[in-house]
Amino acid sequence: MPSVPPRDPPGAVPPPAITMDTTPRIRLSPPNDALPRPAPAPVDSALRWDSPYENGEIQPSATVFLTQPAYARIYVHAASDLDNEVGGILVGQWCLDTGTESHFLVIENVLPARYTRQSGVHLTFTQDSLVHFHSIIERRFKGKQIVGWYHTHPRMGIFLSHYDTWLHHNFFPEAWQVALVVEPHTSIGGFFIRQNGGLLDPARYFGFYEMNGRLGHSTVRWQNLSCSGEESE
């Protein structure tokens, strides 16, 4: 698998175009004939967390539902290294709401990448990382899908760089696969989701539904998101 180059530093002159083999030896997307699982969206037991960009101007191709255990693991992993980027993959189900015919994702599990090359401005998933991902899914999460990936931006904010976008398009190409970026120093995060036409805005991110948030206390600590529902006492 080709490595993902580091981000350009602020003010740097863009490098010349680089020709790369963008075909991964191990797929991170499901087979081309994969279909969403019909299911009702679990909105009744979830709290909605909105980003500042959810004003109706852009419409995501899928809605994200994130379980509390998955959120907790992302939060802890993001805080494990405040100087270098860390990341991993999001595992769960791609679904079709039987009532609205809209697509949604349920992120149930998180697999931190164990074999990476990293610095304060880049993260590379190595071939060993991909072998490990698929081995764990096969053993522990049979029937689940890789619904996206996540990584941190220490002290940089929430956005998709040129190289993040390249990685997302080439290794997570399905319209419903998402990218989550977390900035651990200020405790902020957001999901980048393709629009219905396939476009991906690298500067505007979306919130998510916190599953089981209405059944107990919320675990979400990201300061840039606002809750649009009432938390149960």
Give a yes or no: residue 16 inside a domain: no
- Alpha carbon distance 119, 164 (integer Å): 14
Q: What is the pLDDT of residue 151?
A: 96
Give a yes or no: residue 3 inside a domain: no
Contact of 175 with 147, CB cutoff 8 Å: no
Q: Going by C-beta distance under 8 Å and a sequence separation of 6 or more, which residues neighbour residue 180?
A: 74, 90, 148, 149, 150, 151, 189, 190, 191, 192
Instruction: Please give the chain's pLDDT, 233 residues, in tens.
Output: 334 444 444 443 333 222 223 344 445 656 556 799 999 999 998 999 999 998 877 889 999 999 999 999 999 999 999 999 999 999 999 999 999 999 999 999 999 987 666 666 767 777 788 888 888 898 999 889 999 999 999 999 999 999 899 989 988 999 999 999 999 999 999 999 999 888 999 999 999 999 986 666 899 999 999 998 654 33
- Alpha carbon distance 159, 165 (integer Å): 10
Contacts within 8 Å (CB) and 24+ apart, 225-233? 225/49, 225/50, 225/51, 225/188, 225/189, 225/190, 226/49, 226/50, 227/47, 227/48, 227/49, 227/50, 228/48, 228/49, 228/50, 229/46, 229/47, 229/48, 231/47
Give a yes or no: residue 70 inside a domain: yes
> What CATH number is given to the structural domain containing 100?
3.40.140.10
Q: What is the pLDDT of residue 1?
A: 37
Give a yes or no: residue 67 inside a domain: yes
Q: What is the pLDDT of residue 56?
A: 74
Give a yes or no: residue 192 inside a domain: yes
Total structural domains in the chain? Answer: 1
Give a yes or no: residue 110 inside a domain: yes
Give, as one character, the DSSP assignment of residue 122: -
Give a yes or no: residue 24 inside a domain: no
Give a yes or no: residue 150 inside a domain: yes
Contact of 146 with 137, CB cutoff 8 Å: yes
Domain interval for residue 179: 37-227
